[in-house]
C-alpha cells in the first residue's frame, strides 16, 4: 500500500492536523427524499403567503339560471361570483366580455373553466351576442348542463336582480324522467301538455306529474324544485319536431285526444 506524506512549512513538534472525514456519497433517490423532507419541515414563507392569500379564492365563475322576462322560458348566464370566507356566493354579476376570458384569462379562472366557457360560447352561437344570458338548447346545451352539475357550478335564481344580492341556490341533478303528451281540462278549454313521471314513480299530489320548466336541449331537460335532469319523451308514435313539442302549447275546446293529435298533424303539414 502506498502512503503519501504531507509536507509542513513549520518544524513544530505538534501532531499534524487531520483533514475532516468526508461522509460517503448518498444515492440520488435518498438525497432527493432528504431534500423533500427538509422542504416540508421548513416551508418558504413566500409560498405559504401565496396559498393562504384570500384574494386567490375570492372569486370564481358560476352559471346562473333564471326565468326570462316572460316567465315561460329559462336562460343561463355566465357570472363572476364573489365568495364569502365560507365559500358561499355573496354576489354574482354577468360576464359581458366572454371571449376575453380565453384571450386574457384572470387569475381565478380554473382549469375546467376553459372548457365550460368554450361550450357556453358554442351554445350561444346564433343568438344575440350583446346579451350575456341565453336559453340552453341543442346537444351542446345538454352537455354543458351535465358538466356544470358535475362540477357544482350550476345555480338557480328566481330573478336576475336576485343575483346581485347572492340569492342563488345550487341546482341538483335529478333522475331521467319519462314524459308523455296529455290533455288537461281547464274549464271549457283543454290544454295539450306534458305529463312527467313523478320521482319515485308514485304521485303524491295532483300536480306531481308537472314540472316547472322544460328546456329545448337534446335530449330535453327539466327543471323542477331546484333539481334538473333529462327527459325521455314518449311522442306517441307521432313525428313532431322537438322544437314544436317543447315550445308550443295547443288549446282545443272539447276535442278527444285522437282528434287533437290529428289537429297537430294537420297544423304541421300546413306549416
Task: For the chain, give the percent of residues with pLDDT over 70.
Answer: 61
> Which residues, 6 or more positions from 180, have their beta carbon under 8 angstroms from its beta carbon?
194, 195, 233, 234, 236
pLDDT band at 237 (very low <50, low <70, confident <90, very high): low
| pLDDT of res. 245 | 57
DSSP one-letter code for 198: P
Instruction: Determine the pLDDT at residue 140.
Output: 95
pLDDT at 166: 92
57-67 pLDDT per residue, tens:
589 999 999 99
Q: Which residue, 148, 137, 153, 149, is CA-closest to 219? A: 137
pLDDT tens profile 70-83: 888 999 999 999 99
Angle at the Cα of 184 from the Cα atoms of 195 and 186, rounded to 5 degrees: 145
What region does 71 belong to: left with phi over 0, alpha with psi -120 to 50, or beta? left
Q: Is the pLDDT of residue 162 over 90?
A: yes
For the record, the C-alpha cell of 270 comes out as 300546413
CA distance 113 to 108: 10
Amino acid at each position: 500500500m502506498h502512503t503519501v506524506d504531507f509536507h509542513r512549512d513549520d518544524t513544530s513538534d505538534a501532531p499534524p492536523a487531520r483533514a475532516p472525514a468526508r461522509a460517503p456519497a448518498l444515492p440520488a433517490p435518498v438525497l432527493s427524499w432528504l431534500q423533500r423532507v427538509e422542504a416540508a419541515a421548513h416551508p418558504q414563507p413566500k409560498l405559504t403567503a401565496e396559498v393562504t392569500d384570500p384574494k386567490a379564492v375570492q372569486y370564481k365563475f358560476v352559471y346562473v339560471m333564471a326565468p326570462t322576462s316572460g316567465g315561460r322560458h329559462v336562460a343561463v348566464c355566465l357570472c363572476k361570483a364573489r365568495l364569502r370566507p365560507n365559500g358561499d356566493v355573496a354576489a354574482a354579476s354577468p360576464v359581458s366580455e366572454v371571449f376575453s376570458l380565453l384571450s386574457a384569462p384572470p387569475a381565478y379562472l380554473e382549469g375546467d373553466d376553459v372548457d365550460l366557457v368554450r361550450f357556453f360560447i358554442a351554445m350561444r352561437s346564433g343568438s344575440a351576442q350583446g346579451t350575456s344570458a341565453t336559453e340552453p338548447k341543442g346537444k351542446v346545451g345538454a352537455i354543458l348542463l351535465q358538466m356544470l352539475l358535475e362540477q357544482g357550478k350550476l345555480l338557480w335564481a328566481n330573478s336576475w336582480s336576485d343575483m346581485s344580492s347572492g340569492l342563488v341556490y345550487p341546482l341538483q341533478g335529478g333522475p331521467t324522467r319519462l314524459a308523455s303528451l296529455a290533455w288537461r281540462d281547464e274549464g271549457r278549454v283543454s290544454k295539450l301538455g306534458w305529463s312527467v313521471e313523478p320521482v319515485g314513480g308514485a304521485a303524491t299530489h295532483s300536480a306531481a306529474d308537472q314540472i316547472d320548466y322544460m328546456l329545448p336541449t337534446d335530449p330535453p331537460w327539466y327543471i323542477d324544485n331546484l333539481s334538473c335532469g333529462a327527459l325521455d319523451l314518449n311522442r306517441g308514435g307521432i313525428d313532431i319536431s322537438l322544437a314544436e313539442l317543447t315550445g308550443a302549447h295547443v288549446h282545443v275546446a272539447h276535442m278527444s285526444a285522437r282528434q287533437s293529435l290529428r289537429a297537430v298533424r294537420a297544423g304541421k303539414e300546413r306549416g
